Amino acid sequence: MPSDTPTTAQSDQLVHNTIDLHTHSTASDGLYPPEELVRLAHDAGLTTIALVDHDTTDGLDAASAAGERLGVTVIPGIEVNTDLPGKQGEAHVLGYYLEYERPAFQAVLRTLRAARARRGERMVERLRAQGLDVTWERVRALAQGAVGRPHVARALIEKGYASDVSDAFARYLAPGKPAYIPRYKLAPADAVRLIKSARGVPVLAHPAGIAELRERVLPELVMAGLQGLECYYGPYDTETVAGLLRLADGYGLIPTGGSDYHGPNMHPTPLGGRYVPESSLDRLRRTGEFNHKLPAPEFTLPQPPAEQA
């Protein structure tokens, strides 16, 4: 068993946990502004968090400034949503210690956010065509930043068309449902290369449910430059964590983790509610320092198919 394995007491009681490497703010689909998120982290006894909003780094400056005031280290990060081939679902790739102000990197993120916004707008158009009183203006107001399906879901909840986010997805927004629109299909390997173009550390997020993870996905991503695997993830049980740690160890990947905190009633794990060992943070930090000494490879965003443009 790898040395990073937590004890049962650490996993169940979360004693002395000070690290959360997977949090979200209102810059994407979290409920709290970056400054408030950092304050909550401080109040929870965390000393290091990573802000990994979806397809945007817009919350990082505010979060870092709040972290400096409160004594919380904020790792600059991102979460890039991607799709597996065929109908095998999604794979998300986290990036840590990004040089996020690079113009070429930000240009790619603007393209991804524009695609997300157009997708959300088309979903609203479909909902309105079915007689549902949901407006794009309200969805944008709820988002306060990068638009995602959760913001459309919240607009549906406000109007009484769904009881919660899960219900809104099940009724309207999931694949096969009336308002679903396919998104810009970025491949996981593209996300790895995008993160490396900003000298970041790419990590495969919440991997336990990914189809063909061991047989195909992980080997391909390691070849593309993957450097970590999210093993200590929110609701994962001890057996799942142990299996992922063995997998990470076999490929020499950094075992990272966190709560995937978006706010109350959005994910089952509270902020700081998943044990992450100091050794994982140390390896992640040292890998980030190493990456920053390397030339930043160029990245070209693939063109979307016509139906996604």
CATH of the domain at 82: 3.20.20.140
In a domain, 51, yes or no: yes
Place of tokens 């061991």: 214
In a 13 Å sphere around the CA of 10, the CA atoms on its Cβ side amount to 15
Decide if pLDDT at 56 tops 70: yes
Per the CB < 8 A criterion, the answer to whether 172 and 84 are in contact is: no
N-terminal to C-terminal alpha carbon distance within the chain: 46
The residue among 140, 136, 118 whose CA lies nearest residue 127 is 136
The residue among 307, 87, 91 whose CA lies nearest residue 189 is 91
Confidence of residue 309 (pLDDT cuts 50, 70, 90): very low
In a domain, 96, yes or no: yes
> CA 148, CA 208: separation in Å to the nearest integer?
23
Mean of the pLDDT values across residues 54-74?
97
pLDDT in tens, 175-210: 889 999 887 778 999 999 999 999 999 999 999 999
Place of tokens 């065929």: 86
What does the pLDDT read at residue 23?
98
In a domain, 102, yes or no: yes
Residue 246 class from Cβ within 10 Å (0-12 exposed, 13-18 middle, 19+ buried)? middle
Decide if pLDDT at 294 tops 50: yes
Mean of the pLDDT values across residues 154-167?
94
pLDDT over 70, % of the chain: 93
In a domain, 27, yes or no: yes
Decide if pLDDT at 108 tops 70: yes
Domain tally for the chain? 1
- The number of angstroms, rounded, from the C-alpha of 118 to the middle of its chain's C-alpha atoms is 20
Structure tokens at 266: 């959005």
Decide if pLDDT at 3 tops 70: no
What does the pLDDT read at residue 117?
87
Mean of the pLDDT values across residues 223-248?
97
Decide if pLDDT at 41 tops 90: yes
What does the pLDDT read at residue 301?
86
Structure tokens at 173: 């927004």
In a domain, 44, yes or no: yes
Decide if pLDDT at 308 tops 90: no
What does the pLDDT read at residue 182?
82
Confidence of residue 245 (pLDDT cuts 50, 70, 90): very high
In a domain, 269, yes or no: yes
Provide the residue range defining the domain that includes 278.
8-110+191-291
Neighbours of 14 (CB within 10 A): 16
Mean of the pLDDT values across residues 46-61?
97
What does the pLDDT read at residue 282?
98
Top mean-pLDDT range of 2-11, 113-122, 142-151: 113-122
| Least reliable range by pLDDT among 200-204, 254-258, 264-268 | 264-268
> Which distant-in-sequence residues (6+ apart) come within 8 Å of 155 by Cβ?
124, 134, 135, 138, 139, 142
In a domain, 172, yes or no: no
Nearest 5°: the CA angle 270, 276, 277 is: 155
What does the pLDDT read at residue 305?
52
Decide if pLDDT at 63 tops 80: yes
Q: What is the mean pLDDT of the chain?
A: 91
Decide if pLDDT at 243 tops 60: yes
Structure tokens at 145: 């930043």
In a domain, 303, yes or no: no
Structure tokens at 12: 């169940």
pLDDT in tens, 65-101: 999 999 999 999 999 999 888 778 889 999 999 999 9
What does the pLDDT read at residue 184?
79
Mean of the pLDDT values across residues 48-55?
96
